[in-house]
Structure 1
Amino acid sequence: MSDDPRRRIPRTDTLLADPRFAAAAERHGRDRVRAAITTAQEAARSGEIAPEDVAGQALSRMPAAPSSLRRVINATGVVVHTNLGRAPLSEAAVEAVAAAAGYTDVEFDLATGARARRGAAALDALLERVPEAGSALVVNNGAAALVLATTALAQGKEVVVSRGELIEIGDGFRLPELIASTGARLREVGTTNRTHLRDYAEAVGPDTGCILKAHPSNFAMTGFTSGVGVDELSTLGAPVVADIGSGLLAPEPTLPAEPDARTWLREGASIVTASGDKLLGGPQAGIVLGDAAIVERLRRHPLARALRVDKLTLAALEATVAGPTPPVLRAIRATANDVAHRTRRIAEALGTDVVEVDGRVGGGGAPGIPLSGMAIALPAAVAERLRLGTPPVVARVADGRCLVDLRCVPEPDDDALLDALRAALG
């Protein structure tokens, strides 16, 4: 037995005392490190690896980062890319999240030592940007804001909505089913393509909980169409819940047809609901702005606690709203000339062509609105190699070509992108 190589397999406690494993335990947790050691020891006992290789094998099983999520370079030209996490946070928001990761005064008044309004600074930042709102509330996503509003205002009652606004959002979720889940009844008015003020007026009555105005942000309807604006709906006497979807707080000249919170509140919306991680450019969140009494009614509803956001979201949202222009708006406002020099430099280094392309807002915002730009044209097969590289680069495949669009690529990443492209081209 003295010559049995299995006797040379290092003990678990010996390996855990090794500084390399101690550091790994600090980063990934002791249980995860212990599991990797056990797997490597079993491999040595079965003869798959030598006892001397146990430590190296266990360390190789440790992930390179604490999270399995991998940072990717978005070269698709789609700014708010749902599959890539929608809005990239600004540097200010990232710094705010890191600072809030420990203990914070998220719900504590340091001056008095008493409990305070949760996330007061983020809410105040929103109200400063949208002075038309009497109050603000933040929940965990845009759909949650709409669910909370219809539950608090119309549970057991009717929600009056145009048939042309009964939209389906990503992953098969449909507005009628969302509203039905709140215990409210849908009262559909008008037709798919045309709805008039009289249609709403005939439907509003004692059973009306609210009128819902939902911006169909993920599609556009053209031709023989008509709709009713918030300014007209606000004359019917029922609360108007206006869902702008995309999260613009104020008009954006680049997207003149996209609704915004300030405009719809000025037109008479009781409350406006929106997303925080689309055109607002912040973390995933649902924002409610509007009449103070109605917002307070939503805040006091039992469902609000289940939809509450954490301190990291509040920190990122405050930094986004009060800070510099977020990356999303910079990317949307970028013109072909803004990325021309960078695109041509990389294309020349690779000896390939540059072509004109149209980017997209994405995330259900400004459907059909092109964002003029340019891209590096490569063989279609390169797209897969780019995705599997380090760092992963996600490009667009169209017309039999792989198109690498720099609209959403931060300029400091240009050299890493060029290296990835060279590696993918072999």
Structure 2
Amino acid sequence: MQIVSPAALPAVDKVLAFAGVQALAVSHGRKPTLQAVRTVLGRLRACALEGSLPADALQEAALTGAVAAVLKAADRPALRAVFNLTGTVLHTNLGRALLPEEAIARVAEVMRRPCNLEFDLAFARRGDRDSLVEPLLQELTGAEAAAVVNNNAAAVLLALDTLARGREVIVSRGELIEIGGSFRIPDIMRRAGCKLLEVGTTNRTHRHDYADAIGAKTALLLKVHTSNYVIQGFTASVDEPTLATLAHEAGLPFMVDLGSGTLVDLSRYGLPYEPTPQQALAAGADLVSFSGDKLLGGPQAGILVGRKELIARIKKNPLKRALRVDKLTYAALEAVLRLYRDPDRLPARLPTLRLLTLAPEEIEQRVQAVAPTLANTLAAHASVTPIRLASQIGSGSLPVERLESRGLRIEPLGGARGRGRRLAALEAAFRHLPTPVIGRIADDALLFDLRCLEREAVPAFLDQLTHLSLP
């Protein structure tokens, strides 16, 4: 193999004059193509300086192909669809809830045309964007009023800033949660300008703990649903009706932060029980906050429902504008909320609920459809074995509950030496496919839980295995 020096590199203009590169300039634009040529020549120059540049790398076909590869990589979106085979349905890092087709259609419609985001069509005046979903939230939860912001943490921040700035908020020590990214309830309280008053202990809090803490500086009582962990054993907590009565006797509002939140009793679909905003309001809560993109199955949003007077105060807070959501979120959220008006058909229409209620037998059918092709593709590199798995709901919802599932165990061939390296290479190869495949490494193997592999997506999954590049 002939090795060439940096002096052998062609000029930028010469490469741009290649017929293939000119065709790339037509399809990608001259400026991006020029940058790609410079990138390719820069890489080749580095190789030449190291004394490792083969002469055939400077052939017209090779250079054109290298420029095309750079342009293709540059055109690839940063936010990409993936196959979620982790076994976590509501995966925070993978976008959480999938939207139903009704929501996707509504989002596309308001993207294409002007809409009445803040225009009251009945009276031809400026409108309140929350009014687009408030009637539905009132109907579904029984609340007097509702407001929407960009996530549940923002909803809690806004409520505390409005109702408790400069004053005390009483919370049980057992409910001082930390969610993903080291985001903690005490931190939110500090940012809201209120003082956290902890009561009880980590595992046991009683009514008298709250009652003894109420004073002249108390602004409200807050109960936080510990959706992302469970304390078991010698425990005690105060239920919502008791806290509501205590707060109201002291002339204070009572707020419940549900975190995840669902508008139906999940147990009717064979899933574990999760508290709902309706139940919290019926128990006496004056304000309830919950997420839009978790168990609700909608877009990222933080939803506040409760007493009309409190919601009105929250809407007047300047932070409300800073935390508001756009027309796309309202369009998607409205479409999802409308599905909840027909709970009997909800599992068939809401992707989150459909995936959570998927029977193991259905998942097994997908395993049987995928396993043979995958085994043939990996025959020289890894073994593929169907196995039973346990999926989890994810995003802090029902943390100890598991859903019976099915999947594949992929083990790299070879001895123990270098096994970790081969396993990492296997995982990376799937992750670098045109549509990345994200599984999880556990028990010295790559595990693919097929709960979230939709039936209609199986052919596309199999087709792209031809692009799998393994060492």
The question of a shared fold, defined as TM-score above 0.5 by the shorter chain, is answered with yes
For residue 266 of structure 1, the aligned residue among 276, 282, 285 is: 282
For residue 361 of structure 2, the aligned residue among 321, 325, 337 is: 337
Aligned partner of 1:117 in structure 2 is: 128
For residue 304 of structure 1, the aligned residue among 293, 302, 320 is: 320
Aligned partner of 2:50 in structure 1 is: none
SS in 2 for 1:151: helix
Structure 2: distance between partners of 1:46 and 1:383: 27
Aligned partner of 2:436 in structure 1 is: 392
Offset at 1:306?
0.6
Offset at 1:311?
0.9
Structure 2: distance between partners of 1:267 and 1:80: 28
Structure 2: distance between partners of 1:71 and 1:268: 42
Aligned partner of 2:31 in structure 1 is: 34
Aligned residues: 412
Deviation sequence 1:131-174 (CA, Å, 0-9, x none): x1111111011100000011111001100000000111111111
Aligned partner of 2:460 in structure 1 is: 416
Structure 1 stretch displaced more, 103-112 or 294-303: 103-112
SS in 2 for 1:136: strand
Aligned partner of 2:449 in structure 1 is: 405
Give the alignment's Cα RMSD to 1 decimal.
3.0
CA contact (8 A) 2:388 2:407 kept: yes
CA contact (8 A) 1:251 1:263 kept: no
Matches within 5 A, 1:6-405: 24=28, 34-40=31-37, 57=67, 60-63=70-73, 67-102=77-112, 103-110=114-121, 112-130=123-141, 132-236=142-246, 237=248, 238-253=252-267, 254-323=270-339, 325-350=349-374, 352-379=384-411, 381=423, 382-405=426-449
Deviation sequence 1:184-226 (CA, Å, 0-9, x none): 0111111110001111111123211111110111111100001
Deviation sequence 1:211-248 (CA, Å, 0-9, x none): 11101111111000010111111001221110111121
CA contact (8 A) 2:12 2:38 kept: no
**Structure 1 unaligned residues grouped into runs of 5+:** 26-32
Offset at 1:256?
3.8
Deviation sequence 1:245-271 (CA, Å, 0-9, x none): 112123211444422111111111111
Deviation sequence 1:351-377 (CA, Å, 0-9, x none): 543211110011000011010111122
TM-score (norm 1): 0.87
Aligned partner of 1:30 in structure 2 is: none
Deviation sequence 1:97-130 (CA, Å, 0-9, x none): 2222243221123455422221433333322322
Offset at 1:310?
0.8
Structure 1: distance between partners of 2:135 and 2:301: 16
SS in 2 for 1:211: strand
SS in 1 for 2:163: helix
Change in 2 beyond 3 A, CA 1:55/1:286: same
Change in 2 beyond 3 A, CA 1:66/1:89: farther
Structure 1 stretch displaced more, 351-360 or 217-226: 351-360
Aligned partner of 2:379 in structure 1 is: none
Structure 2: distance between partners of 1:423 and 1:61: 19
SS in 2 for 1:101: helix
Change in 2 beyond 3 A, CA 1:350/1:66: closer
SS in 2 for 1:289: strand
**Structure 2 unaligned residues grouped into runs of 5+:** 1-9, 46-57, 340-345, 376-383, 413-422
Q: Quick one: which amino acid aligns to residue 243 of structure 1?
A: D
Aligned partner of 2:419 in structure 1 is: none
Offset at 1:314?
1.1
Deviation sequence 1:321-342 (CA, Å, 0-9, x none): 2135321111111221231222
Rg comparison, structure with higher value: 2
Structure 2: distance between partners of 1:60 and 1:385: 19
SS in 1 for 2:245: coil
TM-score (norm 2): 0.79
CA contact (8 A) 2:148 2:302 kept: yes
SS in 2 for 1:407: helix
Structure 1 or 2: more helix by fraction:
2
CA contact (8 A) 1:37 1:54 kept: no
Structure 1: distance between partners of 2:206 and 2:191: 27
Q: Percent identity?
A: 39
